[in-house]
Amino acid sequence: MLERRINLDGRAATADVPRITIGGLRMAALDLEATANFMIEATDPRHRIGRPLHLTSANGEVLARCSTEPETERLFRSADLINADGQPLVAASRLQSWFPLPERVATTDLFHVVARKAEAVGRTFYMFGASEDENALAVENVRKMYPNLKIVGYSHGYLRGDALRAKVDEINALAPDYLWVALGVPNEQAFVEEFTPHLTNVGVIKTSGGLFNFLSGSRARAPRWMQKIGLEWAWRTLLEPRRLFWRYLTTNPRAIYLLFSRNRPFNNR
């Protein structure tokens, strides 16, 4: 927990957010609407802390990887706030805690709630990540859904070296309220750690996993009933068996163990 202990500005900015420890990680005990409201409030000039707040998300796979990959665990623990993007995490908290997670906060759902609120109050977006085609199509679809939303820029995530550093400088100059970073775990968390000092004009960085694939329409969400009972991983495996079968076969059992062994009922510090 060293990273959180020395991250005093981030702790102060999120001090009012209740948390519980699930599977070894401290999760924000907020529902979707409250999370979006927190993100809107965090970009109010009166609440800026001189650097972007870092919000990330965890599911069963992330819990398993954090328990076996020290660097991934360190990157997640250094985030200012972690949302529970997995229905099994919510279910486990309800079985074991008198203060459970209120609901799953999936980034794919959160994006739309924040977009509607940002559209209403004039907040700005930058969308960074995925391939060039996926990124462009995602932005095109978002602009159709939210015509008054201010998207100040966008870029694919396949940049390295000087090109990446130049892009980060460009993003900072555009000063978006929200930078959505979709590079996959743990690359997006490593991006935040490396470039936060160069993104002082950004309000919130939200790591986003496969968000742009859903926004572009190239990947379909699981049926709602599968989401509600925690089987979205099975839907994703059905769609991408060669890429995901072994991943979930190895991480799911460990995640189940962690969900019932590394929990604390209430922890707001």
157 alpha carbon, distance to own chain's centre: 16
Q: What pLDDT, on a 0 to 100 scale, did the predictor assign at position 232? A: 74
**Separate counts of helices (H) and strands (E) for the chain:** 14, 8
Instruction: Write down the pLDDT at residue 208.
Output: 97
pTM: predicted TM-score of the whole model, two decimal places? 0.90
pLDDT score of 142: 98
Residue 98 is predicted with a pLDDT of 81
Tokens of 64: 């398993």
**Residue 215 placed within a domain:** yes
Let me know: does 177 contact 124? Beta carbons within 8 Å: yes
End-to-end CA distance of the chain: 11
| Residue 132 counted as domain residue | yes
Cα separation of 51 and 196, whole Å?
Answer: 7
The residue with greater pLDDT, 231 or 38, is 38
Number of domains in the chain: 1
CB 66 within 8 A of CB 73: yes
pLDDT confidence bin for 44, thresholds 50/70/90: very high
Cα dihedral 76→109→123→268 (10° resolution)? -40
Q: Which residue has the tokens 């076996």?
A: 68
**DSSP classification of residue 255:** H
Domain extent, residue 252, equals 1-262
pLDDT for 60-103, tens place per residue? 999 999 999 999 999 999 999 999 998 999 999 998 888 899 99
Distance between CA atoms of residues 31 and 29, nearest Å: 7
Burial 111-120 (b: 16+ CB within 10 A, else e): bebbbeebbe
Residue 128 has pLDDT above 90, yes or no: yes
Total number of residues shown for the chain: 269
Say if 268 falls within a structural domain: no
Ramachandran angles phi, psi of 126, nearest 5°: -130, 135
Establish if 52 belongs to a structural domain. Answer: yes
Residue 143 has a CB neighbour count (10 Å cut-off) of 12
**Is 269 within a domain?**
no
Element at 128 (helix H, strand E):
strand 124-129
Asked whether residue 255 is assigned to any structural domain, the reply reads: yes
Domain membership flag for residue 188: yes
Query: H or E stretch including 86?
Result: none
Q: What digits encode the pLDDT tens for the residues 166-201?
A: 999 999 999 999 999 999 999 999 999 999 999 999
Q: Are strands 25-28 and 19-22 parallel, antiparallel or unpaired?
A: antiparallel
Residue 102's alpha-carbon distances to 99, 117, 126, 212, 263, in angstroms, are 9, 21, 29, 26, 16
Residue 170 lies in a domain: yes
